Structure 1
Amino acid sequence: MKSRGNPMAAASPPLLLLLVAIFSLSASMEASILHPLDFLSLQSIRKSLSDLPGSDFFSRWDFTSDPCSFPGVFCRDDRIVALALGDPRAGAMGLTGHLHPAIGRLSALSELSLVPGRVIGRIPDTLSFCSSLRFIALSGNFLSGPIPSSLSSLRLLRTIDLSFNLLSGDIPPSIFSIPALSNVVLCYNHLSGKIPSFPASSELLRLDLKHNNLSGELPVLPRSLRYFAASRNQISGPIDANLPALTNLDYLDLSMNRLTGPIPSGVFSLPLSSLLLQRNELAGPVAPAADVKIAEVDLSYNRLSGPVSPLLSGVERLYLNNNRFIGEVPARFAERLERAGMEVLYLQHNFLTGMEISPAATIPVTTSLCLQYNCMVPPVNTQCPLKAGPVKTRPAWQCPDWRA
């Protein structure tokens, strides 16, 4: 009897096996739509990386299925456009191994990220072949060696974050020639040399270089900057005269360097939320041109001198301790303190001779005030930080003009 319902039922066993194989191959090809070059590159990347104990990021990377369904792999048509390696959830364990040079064959890749883990080795030079890259974030690993200067060929790159690694050598000057670049985060590495100069056309918004071994003087910075941090380096010389021209700057941290000279008065007129210049060798008077409205100003541990400007009384958290300020603290500070207008006022370890505040004044519990180790008996008793020491007043021989 002939079968009429299913033509495969009438086929001989060898033909049946062939048809099954064809159908299986067709189904496999429909599932695996990824371009062959991307498929092979992804396999190489997988072989060079593995999960740290506690991570299961690669548990669903089964190359018998469609790689575009893998965690962290994002495709458009038949090409990989974004690769997020590792589980991005907070507290999740990361990956170990190294970044395979085959990553450079992902020609449509526009975003590359790597969660914090123990990935070692160098950043592959082949990344420069990914001409569509707009975003690179490889933070929090153990990547070492230099930053490849070839990355400057990525003309669409907007963000590069290589922070918290073991990178060394100079910052390639050509990096800052990338026309679309807006965010550069290189903090917590072992980078050395000078901060490169910037082209006049730079539209950089964020530059984070803190905790490196950078030296030399500050270059002329892009006027577009909104965030600049270069603390804990060995940057020397005066604060560049172009700082007051950074009229978009919201955050400035140059603390713990070797900066010298005065603080330009125009710096205090910038639209800053934080101005951090502590632990340098800055000297001279602090003379803002108008009322300062910055939330936090830290000028401690410098060589600043002269009277304390009343124009600083509008700062919410003000650190002037461990300098050479003289004279009386302006009455505006006492008024602000009693109205809870200031959160922190640290004036300890200067040569101040008095403060117009009643001994019966009530300092809000939310306010930290420290006046000890000056050329006066502190008019009010307040809790000072432990590092201020136990001595309330300077020895008289250090205060020749002080009258008790």
Structure 2
Amino acid sequence: MDIASSSCYSLLFLCFLHQSAQALLDPTDFLALQSIRKALHDVPGSSFFSSWDFTADPCNFPGVLCDSDKVIALSLGEPRAGSPGLTGKLDNAVGKLSSLAEFTVVPGRIYGHLPQSLSQLKNLRFLGVSRNFISGEIPAGLGQLRSLRTIDLSYNQLAGAIPRSIGALSELTNLALSHNHLSGSVPSFCLAQSLTRLDLKHNMLSGSLAPDSLPPSLQYLSLSWNRFTGPVDRVLTRLNNLNYLDLSLNWFTGPIPAQLFSFPLTSLHLERNQFTGSVQPLNEVTIQTVDLSYNQFSGEISPMLASVQHLYLNNNKFIGQVPGSFVERLMTASIQILYLQHNYLTGIAISPTAEIPMSSTLCLQYNCMVPPPQMTCPVKAGNQKIRPAQQCHNH
């Protein structure tokens, strides 16, 4: 072999050694991954851990992403949709992965508490452990992780209060804690000025919302299926970036602000509360779905609502005639659902022979009028077509 060839081979060997040295995982991270692996198992049908062989480089394991000699992302479980996931517990060793920026767990059967050691991960930006059987409380130390942008712990069995410190995370954009057993009041998020999505539905949260408790940056807000009380008008007037709002199935009271209907909403769900007052949008409403059913709203129905595709005003105290614009929109199938049953309405200008398009549904039963024959009502509307005259006289 000539000198040139020998030099070339030496150079290649040095490059190989350099790459091998870089590939050696930090011993602390190596031991942490071993502990995490020992505490978890594949649910039958999952083969996620089949290639986690610690005689090889863990940086090549499925779900492990390294930068130099440190683990920066860990995703436990096969990412394919419908994967059966993992079972076991999350080991405290997760907190030893000091450079971890993303930690996710696919839906499965993982139980036990969230490791308190998560609070040591100062670089953590994304925490996603949803659709498992995680119990216990949310570690308050998560509120110390100033880089956190997303926390998704939805569809678990978490209990206790939402740590107040989480509401002060200035980088937080997405907080999803829905479908748990959380209780107590909602912390103030006034310092979370980047928060765009807040999903707390299906818990046991209670109390009222302070006027400045939610940031104007919110685009998605769901507080449905809780036990909230009190008024929301002063809270909502500040949230003019909302495109989705669901406050349904609570005990909220008082009026709703007229300007709410001018927000860039696609869906507005306020059903099954104790809201009162009139509903008078300032302009024609461009929201696709508006559900105000099962409240105490009163007054006449605004013609501004005739542009809504799916409109639920049933089970309130609305009075007067149904505006003519509603009939026009029904006949052109612009309105697909118009539920006005169980109010105190006195008439609608629609011909008994008019044919409502098949794609549109109208229900007007149990009002202070003889309903038109073209109705298609849900079963829960009952069998009574007309409200008793005595009730109508009182309105």
TM-score (norm 2): 0.92
User: Partner residue of 1:147?
Assistant: 138
What SS class does the counterpart of residue 336 from structure 1 fall into? helix
What SS class does the counterpart of residue 119 from structure 2 fall into? helix
User: Partner residue of 2:326?
Assistant: 333
User: Partner residue of 1:133?
Assistant: 124
Task: Tell me how far apart the structure 2 counterparts of residues 323 and 201 of structure 1 sit (CA, whole Å).
Answer: 36
- Structure 1 residue 32: Cα displacement: 5.8
Residue range with higher mean Cα deviation, 385-394 or 187-196: 385-394
- Structure 1 residue 50: Cα displacement: 0.4
User: Partner residue of 2:52?
Assistant: 61
TM-score (norm 1): 0.90
% same residue: 56
Task: Tell me how far apart the structure 2 counterparts of residues 318 and 360 of structure 1 sit (CA, whole Å).
Answer: 23
User: Partner residue of 2:63?
Assistant: 72
Alignment of 1:227-246 (within 5 A): 227-246=220-239
Q: In structure 1, give the amino acid aligned to 2:190.
A: P
User: Partner residue of 1:314?
Assistant: 307
- Structure 1 residue 198: Cα displacement: 2.1
Alignment of 1:2-401 (within 5 A): 33-200=24-191, 202-219=193-210, 220=212, 221-400=214-393
Task: Tell me how far apart the structure 2 counterparts of residues 208 and 36 of structure 1 sit (CA, whole Å).
Answer: 39
Q: In structure 2, give the amino acid aligned to 1:124.
A: P
Task: Tell me how far apart the structure 2 counterparts of residues 290 and 145 of structure 1 sit (CA, whole Å).
Answer: 47
- Structure 1 residue 159: Cα displacement: 0.3
Q: Deviations over 1:347-404 (max 9, x none)?
A: 01111111011112121111111111111111232221111112221122222289xx
Task: Tell me how far apart the structure 1 counterparts of residues 227 and 43 of structure 2 sit (CA, whole Å).
Answer: 36
Per the alignment, do residues 81 and 357 of structure 1 end up closer, same or farther by CA in structure 2, a change over 3 Å counting?
same
Task: Tell me how far apart the structure 1 counterparts of residues 235 and 84 of structure 2 sit (CA, whole Å).
Answer: 43
Task: Tell me how far apart the structure 1 counterparts of residues 145 and 394 of structure 2 sit (CA, whole Å).
Answer: 63
Task: Tell me how far apart the structure 2 counterparts of residues 31 and 194 of structure 1 sit (CA, whole Å).
Answer: 49
The answer to whether the 8 A contact 2:137-2:161 is kept is yes
Per the alignment, do residues 344 and 299 of structure 1 end up closer, same or farther by CA in structure 2, a change over 3 Å counting?
same
User: Partner residue of 1:11?
Assistant: none
What SS class does the counterpart of residue 313 from structure 1 fall into? helix
Q: Deviations over 1:1-59 (max 9, x none)?
A: xxxxxxxxxxxxxxxxxxxxxxxxx8996696211111100000000000111111111
- Counting matched residue pairs gives 378
- Structure 1 residue 232: Cα displacement: 0.4
Task: Tell me how far apart the structure 2 counterparts of residues 360 and 401 of structure 1 sit (CA, whole Å).
Answer: 32
Task: Tell me how far apart the structure 1 counterparts of residues 117 and 285 of structure 2 sit (CA, whole Å).
Answer: 49
Task: Tell me how far apart the structure 2 counterparts of residues 83 and 201 of structure 1 sit (CA, whole Å).
Answer: 26
Per the alignment, do residues 95 and 28 of structure 1 end up closer, same or farther by CA in structure 2, a change over 3 Å counting?
farther
Residue range with higher mean Cα deviation, 200-209 or 220-229: 200-209
The answer to whether the 8 A contact 2:222-2:245 is kept is yes
Per the alignment, do residues 316 and 108 of structure 1 end up closer, same or farther by CA in structure 2, a change over 3 Å counting?
same
What SS class does the counterpart of residue 268 from structure 1 fall into? helix
Task: Tell me how far apart the structure 2 counterparts of residues 307 and 397 of structure 1 sit (CA, whole Å).
Answer: 20
The answer to whether the 8 A contact 1:359-1:380 is kept is yes
Q: In structure 2, give the amino acid aligned to 1:356.
A: A
The answer to whether the 8 A contact 1:244-1:270 is kept is no
Task: Tell me how far apart the structure 2 counterparts of residues 361 and 175 of structure 1 sit (CA, whole Å).
Answer: 57
What SS class does the counterpart of residue 242 from structure 2 fall into? coil
User: Partner residue of 2:13?
Assistant: none
Which has the higher Rg, Structure 1 or Structure 2? 1
The answer to whether the 8 A contact 1:191-1:214 is kept is yes
Point out where structure 1 has 5 or more consecutive residues left out of the alignment.
Answer: 1-25
